[in-house]
Amino acid sequence: MTVSLSPVLSARHISVNLGGKQILDDVSIDVSPGELKVLIGPSGAGKSTFLQCLNFLIPPDTGIISLESHEIDAKNPRALSLYRRQVGMIFQDFNLFDHLTAVDNVAIALRKVAGLSRDEARRRAMAELDRVGLSQKSGLYPAELSGGQKQRVAIARALAMDPKVMLLDEPTSALDPELVGEVLAVIRDLAAGGMTMIMATHQMDFAQALATEILFMEQGRIIEQGSPAELLAPGSGTRTGDFCRRLLDAAPAAAKD
Amino acid sequence: MTELLLAKLSVILDALPYILEGTLVTILTVAGSLALGFVVGVPMAVLEVYGPRWSRCLIRTYVWFFRGMPILLLLFLFYFGLFELIGLNLSTIAASCLVLGMASAAYQSQIFRGSIQSLPAGQLRAALALGMRESEGILYIVLPQALRLSIPGWSNEFSILLKDSAMCFVLGTPEIMARTHFVASRTYEHLALYLTAGVLYFCITLVGVSLLRCLERKVRIPGYASVNGSF
């Protein structure tokens, strides 16, 4: 597909061993501009660890990570900080700063990391909140927001740093079912706007509709990867297809509860 | 009976200006020690949680030392022992602040450490993910939250330190206790005078704790944690 473009983010041979357990075993990924790669797989497969490795929140034991063909030296705090600014991270449990209002959550890194003045940072933060439809809630604290609103603030916070790529770690898993849609809508807008993303999710409809590639992880390895059409075609006999059918079978049962 | 009460009252009234002057010394000593304990205790807590191994060992030893000895012993040990030995010539008030402050740093560091460790790890992780250095994340994200959570524990430290400050009378620090003792040993009006001193400590505690409660309310994060009477 978009093979001719050089990757924005590239991770080669990432391995992580925690307490004698091989969490990630030689995982590699290349993301080209505008791509949305979706990581799926059973819990414990290493999706979350992999995403956190990609911005060194969990330092990989081995492997190389490069942004726009520049290898990242995680030992150098300046380089690491600069790299992380360009790689937005969205967490499953939001991790909004609890002591700051929505607008200050977005503004703080603009001020302290990007060096904007208080006013500039505030203006930019308001614009980002507007982009996720929350300019009305700018003065509220995280504890006063719904889960979906919190996650949208978290997305605005990451976008404010002008990231070249976004990592989304199951952004809707902690949400009530009726709130999932508003967050997915924001992510869909991002994808439409050409944002490069790697996203771990269990939202198969979403993955099928928007993913440029699906990567199926199990036991710390990517065991299948391909376009949604390839992996999810009826009768394809893939692990991915199997996994998705089981998810979809479970969904109506869950809805009955 | 009335005459007797009046006589006691006049003793108290006569001694009051002298003892009240001691109240200022007490407040100064407590404020100084708390401030020193805060300035030293916060970095200690941060280093104990985030610092390298050697700093953790060092801090634990410090805390163990100062929490393991009675304040009275520490005052003697430092004022008559160490300060004398190294030729440090401090006023009794400064010496009291220094010793109480070093001890308070040990206690305060543990209050702050508890608050820091009670925060979800995701707070600092999110700060790092935005490109903040670890030190920036601690300064802008972790500490503002941890210090808020520390206020109730800190008000304990204040009220304990206030009463510990009475111990400084052994150095000749002219605070409430020393002055009361001085007057009482001359007039033999122990009951009336020590009661007066007790009331003074009581009032300072009340004012201090109320101020801290105000502060706690003022910096409370809306929607966060339960307030009195609500869940």
Residue from B130, B133, B218 to probe the interface with A (highest A Cβ count within 10 Å): B130
Contact between chains at A95 and B126 (C-beta distance less than 8 A): yes
* Six token digits for residue B67: 């929490």
Cα separation of A92 and B132, whole Å?
20
pLDDT, tens only, A105-145 = 999 999 999 999 999 999 999 999 999 999 999 999 999 99
Range of weakest confidence among A61-70, A156-165, B202-211, B215-224? B215-224
Contact between chains at B132 and A97 (C-beta distance less than 8 A): no
> What pLDDT does residue B102 have?
97
B104: pLDDT strictly greater than 50 = yes
Contact between chains at B130 and A109 (C-beta distance less than 8 A): yes
**Residue A229 CB contacts under 8 Å (≥ 6 apart), including other chains:** none
Looking at the complex, report in whole angstroms how far the Cα of residue B24 sits from the nearest Cα belonging to chain A: 36
> What pLDDT does residue A250 have?
72
Residues A201 and A172: beta-carbon distance below 8 Å: yes
pLDDT, tens only, A137-164 = 999 999 999 999 999 999 999 999 999 9
Residues A25 and A211: beta-carbon distance below 8 Å: no
Query: What band does B14 get if pLDDT is binned at 50, 70 and 90?
Result: confident
> What pLDDT does residue A237 have?
81
The superfamily (CATH) of domain A9-256 is P-loop containing nucleotide triphosphate hydrolases (3.40.50.300)
> What is the share, in percent, of chain A residues with pLDDT greater than 90?
76
Element (H, E) at A198: strand A197-200
Looking at the complex, report in whole angstroms how far the Cα of residue B42 sits from the nearest Cα belonging to chain A: 19
Residue from A52, A83, A90, A99 to probe the interface with B (highest B Cβ count within 10 Å): A99
pLDDT, average across residues B114-128: 96
- For residue A57, list chain B residues with Cβ-Cβ distance below 8 A: 125, 128-129
Query: Angle CA(A141)–CA(A143)–CA(A147) in degrees, nearest 5?
Result: 110
Contact between chains at B141 and A97 (C-beta distance less than 8 A): yes
pTM comes to: 0.90
> What pLDDT does residue A205 have?
87
A257: pLDDT strictly greater than 90 = no
* Six token digits for residue A204: 């198969």
A231: pLDDT strictly greater than 90 = no
> What pLDDT does residue B39 have?
98
- To the question of domain B2-218 being in CATH 3.80.10.10, the answer is no
> What pLDDT does residue A11 have?
94
For chains A and B, CB pairs below 8 A equal 80
* Six token digits for residue B5: 């009460």
Cα separation of A35 and A28, whole Å?
16
Give, as one character, the DSSP assignment of residue B227. P
Q: Which residue of B has its CA nearest to A168?
A: B129
pLDDT, average across residues A65-77: 92
Contact between chains at B130 and A55 (C-beta distance less than 8 A): no
Contact between chains at A144 and B148 (C-beta distance less than 8 A): no
pLDDT, tens only, B82-95 = 988 998 888 999 99
**Residue B123 CB contacts under 8 Å (≥ 6 apart), including other chains:** A95, A97, A98, B141, B142, B145
| Top-confidence residue, B225 or A253 | B225
Contact between chains at A161 and B120 (C-beta distance less than 8 A): no
Facing residue for A57 by CB, picked from B128, B132, B221: B128
Give residue limits of the domains in chain B: 2-218
A144 contact B CB<8A: yes
Contact between chains at A141 and B224 (C-beta distance less than 8 A): yes
Give residue limits of the domains in chain A: 9-256
Contact between chains at B145 and A99 (C-beta distance less than 8 A): yes
B165-169, long-range: CB < 8 A, 24+ apart: B165/B26, B165/B29, B165/B30, B165/B33, B165/B96, B165/B100, B166/B26, B166/B201, B167/B71, B167/B72, B167/B75, B168/B29, B168/B75, B168/B92, B168/B96, B168/B100
Element (H, E) at A36: strand A36-40
- For residue A55, list chain B residues with Cβ-Cβ distance below 8 A: 129
- For residue A96, list chain B residues with Cβ-Cβ distance below 8 A: 126
B60 contact A CB<8A: no
Looking at the complex, report in whole angstroms how far the Cα of residue A256 sits from the nearest Cα belonging to chain B: 31
Contact between chains at A82 and B131 (C-beta distance less than 8 A): yes
B223 contact A CB<8A: yes
pLDDT, average across residues B200-208: 96
